[in-house]
Amino acid sequence: MPELDLSLPATSAYVAKALEEIGITPSLVGGSGLTFTLGNAATSGKTVLLRADMDGLPIKEETGLPYASCNGNMHACGHDMHTAMLLGAAELLKAHENKLSGTVKFLFQPGEETMHGAIEAIREGVLEDPHVDAALMVHVMTGMPLPEGTIVASSTEGIISASSDWFDICIKGKGMHGAIAGSGANPLETVTRIYLSLQEISKTMLAQGETVVISVGVIQGGTANNVIPETAVLKGSVRTFSDSARLKAEVMIKECAQQTAQQCGTTAEVTYIRGCPSAITDHDLNQQLINTIIDCYGESSFLDINKLMPGGRLPGSEDFSFFTREVPCTLAFLAAGCTSDGYIYPIHNPRTAFSDEVLHRGAAIYAGFALNWLKSNQL
Q: Which of 5, 53, 91, 165 is catalytic?
A: 53
**What is the rounded distance in angstroms from the CA atom of residue 240 to the CA atom of residue 217?**
17
Amino acid symbol at 272: Y
Phi, psi dihedral angles at 159 (to 5 degrees): -65, 130
| Residue 251: C-alpha distances to residues 73, 271, 272 (Å) | 35, 12, 10
53 is catalytic: yes
20 is catalytic: no
Residue 244 DSSP SS3: helix
Amino acid symbol at 143: G
Q: Which of 3, 80, 112, 113 is catalytic?
A: 113
**Cα-atom radius of gyration of the chain, to the nearest Å?**
23
Among 345, 218, 314, 322, which residue's Cα sits nearest to residue 275? 322
| Residue 351: C-alpha distances to residues 114, 142, 177, 355 (Å) | 21, 11, 42, 13
**What is the rounded distance in angstroms from the CA atom of residue 158 to the CA atom of residue 376?**
22
Active site residues: 53, 113
